[in-house]
Amino acid sequence: MNNINSVSSELVVKANNLIEGFMDMTQQEYKFTLFLISRIRKEDKEFHTQKVSVKEFANVINYTGGNMYEYMKGFESSLASKKIRVLYENGDRLNIPWFGFIRYIHKEGILEVAFNYHLSPFLLNIDIPYTKYYLENIKGLNSIYSLRVYELLKQYQKIGTRIIQIDELKLMLGISPEEYKLYGDFKRRVILQAQKELAAKTDMIFEYTEIKIARRIDKIKFEIYSNVQPQLLESSEEKKLTQAIKTDFKKLYKGELNINIIQSMIDKKGFEHVRQTLNELKDYIGQSQIKHIERFFYRCVMDDYTKSTSYTPKLTYANFDQREYTDENWEEIIRINQEKYTYAHKIEV
């Protein structure tokens, strides 16, 4: 049985079909379900019965009320009835119970749970598009709607935008047709609340645009950005890699390192590409008389320069390919990234 202290490093990995499922759960029920998903191991071939103690249960759902044992008994009954409507390749949506087995053992203070085997394609050895995130990053969310918005946007975070039809979004959030009939209520209690919570408590933020058909707001376009806060979880590998890039770059660059530029490169091109480019340029930079190393490195990364490209990157700026980065140009790049990353990418310098 996993220790609750290890929860912060657990990954939730789900097929996108499951993320886009139509469901109706409370915030506590869904957090508990995600906790169980995070305990599934990559090598698992089938679902195993998981045992969750009272202490673990209380920590997962952040329960602070009294009479925990009675609460768990009612929780067991409610959880057993929960289903999700999953979209299959043929276009059908099928109702699948979340759990195949649930039992609360009062004398031992343990809840035994096993997922429904029909969910195997979406949680075990997933060979269809999937999304993953750290359980810690949603632990502070108080609204089920915020939690579900987080998942739906996390799915598209690398793309950066997602457009969702409002009626479909309500179904994915578990909002009944009778709730929030007025768009203004839906916006205030769901969208704005999720925007506020995600910015304050998760690794992601979003802006949104309302798309109208005639006078009616029909869709929402979400613009998705990272919100890396020091207290939120990064994998140990990402931490080591980020620190390695910062440390190695400082060895090459005597001046002040602009961390927002480095973070911009990492976000746009990925850790591995930035590290590979830096490694391939170490000798060249050390032997050359490059005046503006930070600008040179930035262009190499953004132009996908590696040894295999067999070209010397020019210090060009934006769409002005014949111009080098002047001091004014470079200050503008720094300013843009400073504004973006001061808000959206807070990391330790």
Residue 306 to residues 216, 275, 327, Cα–Cα distance (Å): 50, 11, 26
Q: Which CATH architecture has domain 1-139?
A: Orthogonal Bundle (1.10)
Residues 192, 146: Cα–Cα separation, whole Å: 9
Distance in angstroms between the alpha carbons of the first and the last residue of the chain: 37
Query: Residue 29: what residue type?
Result: E
List every span in the chain annotated with CATH 1.10.10.10.
Answer: 1-139, 140-232
The answer regarding whether domain 140-232 maps to CATH 1.10.3720.10 reads no
Measured CA to CA, the distance from residue 212 to residue 225 in angstroms comes to 24
Give pLDDT tens digits along the chain (349 positions): 343 334 445 889 999 999 999 999 999 999 999 999 999 998 899 999 999 988 888 888 888 777 888 888 889 999 999 999 998 877 788 999 999 999 998 888 899 999 999 999 999 988 889 999 999 899 899 999 999 999 999 999 989 999 999 999 999 999 987 899 999 999 999 999 999 999 999 989 999 999 999 889 999 999 999 886 544 545 555 566 667 777 777 776 665 556 667 777 777 777 778 878 887 777 666 666 666 777 777 778 877 765 555 444 444 433 333 334 555 655 665 555 544 444 333 333 2
Please check whether residue 198 is in contact with residue 208, taking contact to mean a CB–CB distance below 8 angstroms. Answer: no
Rg from Cα positions in the chain: 24
**CA gap 313, 297 in Å, rounded:** 9
Tokens of 108: 């031992």
Q: What angle do CA 149, 31, 14 make, to 5 degrees?
A: 65
Contacts of 142 (CB under 8 A, 6+ apart): 27, 197
Residues in the chain: 349
Token couple for 124: 């075990």
Whole-model pTM?
0.65
Instruction: Supply the DSSP string of 274-304, one letter for each residue.
Output: HHHHHHHHHHHHHHS--S-HHHHHHHHHHTT
